[in-house]
Structures are given as C-alpha cells and as structure tokens.
Structure 1
Amino acid sequence: MLKFKFLLWALTKLLQRAVKSNPACAKYVQGKKLVFQMQTRSGAGRHFTIAEGKVNSAAGLIKAPGFIMTFRDGPSGFAILSAKESKDAFLTALHTEDLAISGDFVEVMWFQGLTEFLQPGKT
C-alpha cells in the first residue's frame, strides 16, 4: 500500500514538473478546473486538483470528484499505474475489474491526454 500512496504523491510532482517545464502542457491545463481521485476499494487514496494552471493533490478522499479511479488494492494500483505499456495495462485492468472508473468519462479522457505529457519526448 505504501508504494501505491507514494506513486500517487509522485504523480503529482511529475505533473507539476511537466506543467512548469513544458509550454504545451501548461497550455493544456490552462483554464481547466477539475478535481478527481485515485483510490483503492478499501478507501485509501489521494485527490487531485487542477485549477488556475496548476496541479495539486492531498491525501484522502473527497465527496464529489469529477471522476474516480478505484483500484482493487494498493499493489494492483501500483502495477497498473507504473506499467510500461500504460494503455494496455489500463484496458486489461478494466476488463479484469482490477480497476473501475466512475464519473465523467470526458474528464477521464482529458486526464489521459494530460498523462501523455509524462511520456519522454512529448511536446
């Protein structure tokens, strides 16, 4: 579970760095207002806020996020989020029910676009 929590914290730092160092990423988040969370079925997780061109997060869950990614448990969440082939890992996890996504799927797709800026060479 600790690795999962650390990965969620590190995701925030990676997104913050991408926004700060990549003008295309900064433009992508400009004007966006979104709160979402990633959690385990047992309720451990973190919520993320994108507002005013910045990415922030805090430990714990909130009542009404735009979407929620719920992983079966910490180890499966870590494995899915850290997989080299992330799109395949997400699709497989959805199929095997190791991952459930609820909420606004348009926002989920927007977030997937944001994570593309974490890939090497993305401008």
Structure 2
Amino acid sequence: MLKFKFLLWVLTKLLQRAIRNNPECAKYVRGKRLIFQIRTIGGVGRYFTIENGAVNSVAGITKTPNFTMSFRDAARGFATLSAKDGKEAFLAALHKEDLTISGDFVEVMWFQGLTEYLQPSKKQEH
C-alpha cells in the first residue's frame, strides 16, 4: 500500500515538472479546472486539483471529483500505474475489472492527453 501512495504522490511531482518545463504542457492545462481522484475500492487514495495552470494533490478522498479511477486494491493500482506499457495496462485492468472509472469521461480523456506529457519525448532520427 505504501508503494501505491508513494506513486500517487510522485505523479503530482511529475505533472508539476511537466507543466514547469514543457510550454506545450503548460498551454494544455492553462484555464483548466478539474478535480479527480485515484483510489482503491477500500478508500486509500489521493485527489488532484488542476487549476490556474497548476497541479496540486492531497492524500485522501474528495466527495466531489469530476472523475474517479478506483482500483481493486493497492497492489493492482501500483502495477497498472507503473507499467511500462501504460495504455495497454489500463485497458487490461479495465477488462479484468481491476479498475473502474466513474464520472465525466470527457474529463478522463482530457487527463489521458495530459499524461502524454509524462512520456519521454520521441525524437525522430533521420
């Protein structure tokens, strides 16, 4: 469970760094207001606020998120969130019902776009 909690805290730091260091990412979040949470079914989690071009998070659960990602347990959440093949891992977790997503799916898709800025840049070689 500690690895899951730590990973959620690190996600905040990675998003903050992406916004700070990547002008395209900063532009992507500019003007956006979003509250979402990543948690376990048992209630362990963290909620994230994107507002005024910044990302912040707080340990715990909020009652009013725009969307929630709920993992069956901390171990499955950690495995999915830290997988090298992120999209495939998410799809597999959804298929196995290790992950459920509730709330505004338009915002979920927006967040998916934000996570693209966490990927190493793919520079094409000629």
Matched residue, 1:61: 61
Aligned equivalents of 1:49, 1:112: Cα separation in 2: 15
Aligned-pair CA distance for 1:15: 0.2
Give how far 1:44 is off: 0.4
Q: Which runs of 4+ in 1 moved over 3 A?
A: none
Shift of 1:64: 1.1
Letter in 1 for 2:9: W
Q: Secondary structure at the match of 1:63?
A: coil
- The residue aligned with 2:7 is 7
Alignment-derived partner of residue 97 in structure 1: 97
Q: How far apart in 2 are the matches of 1:55 and 1:27?
A: 13
For 1:117, the equivalent position in structure 2 comes to 117
Please list the CA deviations of residues 82-117 of structure 1 after superposition, one character each: whole Å capped at 9, or x if unmatched.
Answer: 001000000000000000000000000000000000
Unaligned runs of 5+ in 1: none
Q: What is the distance in 2 between the residues matched to 1:64 and 1:26?
A: 25
Counterpart-to-counterpart distance in 2, 1:120 and 1:93: 23
Partner of 1:37: 37
- Aligned position for 2:17: 17
Distance across 1 between alignment mates of 2:29 and 2:66: 15
> What CA RMSD, in Å, does the superposition of the two structures yield over aligned residues?
1.0
The letter for the 2-side match of 1:102 is S
Alignment coverage as a number of residue pairs? 123
Unaligned runs of 5+ residues in structure 2 are none
* CA–CA distance in structure 1, aligned partners of residues 7 and 62 of structure 2: 19
Summarize deviations over 1:2-50 as a string: whole Å, max 9, x none. 0000000000000000000000000000000000000001000000000
The 1:79/1:57 distance shift into structure 2, 3 A limit, reads: same
Normalised by the length of structure 1, the TM-score is 0.98
SS at match of 1:65: coil
| 8 Å Cα contact 1:116-1:122 kept in structure 2 | no
